[in-house]
Amino acid sequence: MSIAIAIDGPAGAGKSTIARLAAKELGYIYVDTGALYRTIGLAAFRRGLTAENKEQIIAMLPEIKVTLAFNDCQEQIVLLDGEDVSGLIRTPEISMMASAVSAIPEVRAYLLDLQRDMAHTNNVIMDGRDIGTVVLPDAKIKIFLSASPECRARRRYDELIEKGMDVKYEDILTDVIARDYADSHRDIAPLKPADDAINVDTSGEDLETSVNKLLGIMRERL
Ligand code: C5P
């Protein structure tokens, strides 16, 4: 039986960085489910669709193929119709598109088996918004990771600047607040802690402290 650890929380709480490092430490596979929604967002964007084109986005689903794969370093890559789009999905535009497509029930249903299959065949740390509540309700450990909007925006800003992107902190903060609102107020799989989740706040903590805190929680319960 494979073991699953679910980490949910809002954008920029440090989920992916912390989960990636913790997975390496435990020898688990790290699955970033946001990348799947981003890939669908990218596919819609490339077709010139916007958040308003719900029907066209649904009609697009059978025409595209989204695949999760792992490179030689066991890092996740995501393929859209065979093309590695892992880098292309990390722009603020695609973040907003991902949030828009993720509110469509058909999109969530489309990605459900892909996520569950990963967890059935591997020990995983899976991060997202609804992993503990919907995707893997029987996960052995559920963590809800958060931090203040300002702190999360600052982290995302630093990340994008480091990648050489031309972005403004204020725009990122506005995006973070808008995405939080959209993610936690949608009808389907809204962002909220599972009843049995452990809540962890990483505001003001450096990465090492957060990773160690999470590893401590995990090791205690595994
Ligand atoms: O985690 P990340 O910021 O990459 O996710 C992009 C968007 O995908 C989120 O804003 C959220 O709307 C959506 N998402 C989701 N469910 C997940 C993972 C991501 O709805 N499990």
User: Quick one: CA dihedral 36, 44, 100, 171, positive or negative?
Assistant: positive
The answer, yes or no, to whether residue 159 has pLDDT greater than 90, is: no
pLDDT band for position 220 (50/70/90)?
A: very high
Percent of the chain with pLDDT over 70: 100
What CA–CA distance (Å, rounded) separates 24 from 26? 6
Give the pLDDT of residue 69. Answer: 94
Residue nearest to atom 19 of ligand 1 (CA): 34
Percent of the chain with pLDDT over 90: 86
pLDDT band for position 81 (50/70/90)?
A: very high
Q: Tell me what the mean pLDDT of segment 149-171 comes to.
A: 92
Q: Tell me what the mean pLDDT of segment 206-213 comes to.
A: 94
pLDDT band for position 212 (50/70/90)?
A: very high
- Domain locations along the chain: 4-221
CA–centroid distance, 33 to ligand 1, in Å, is 7
Q: 4-221 maps to which CATH number?
A: 3.40.50.300
Give the pLDDT of residue 73. Answer: 81
Ligand 1 near 19 CB (within 6 A): no
Residue nearest to atom 10 of ligand 1 (CA): 99
Give the pLDDT of residue 51. Answer: 93
CA–centroid distance, 11 to ligand 1, in Å, is 7
* ipTM over the 0.85 cut-off: yes
φ, ψ of residue 137 to 5 degrees: the values are -65, -20
Ligand 1 near 98 CB (within 6 A): yes
| 10 is an annotated ligand-binding site residue | yes
Ligand 1 near 34 CB (within 6 A): yes
Give the pLDDT of residue 75. Answer: 87
| Prediction pTM value | 0.92
Residue nearest to atom 1 of ligand 1 (CA): 34
The answer, yes or no, to whether residue 14 has pLDDT greater than 90, is: no
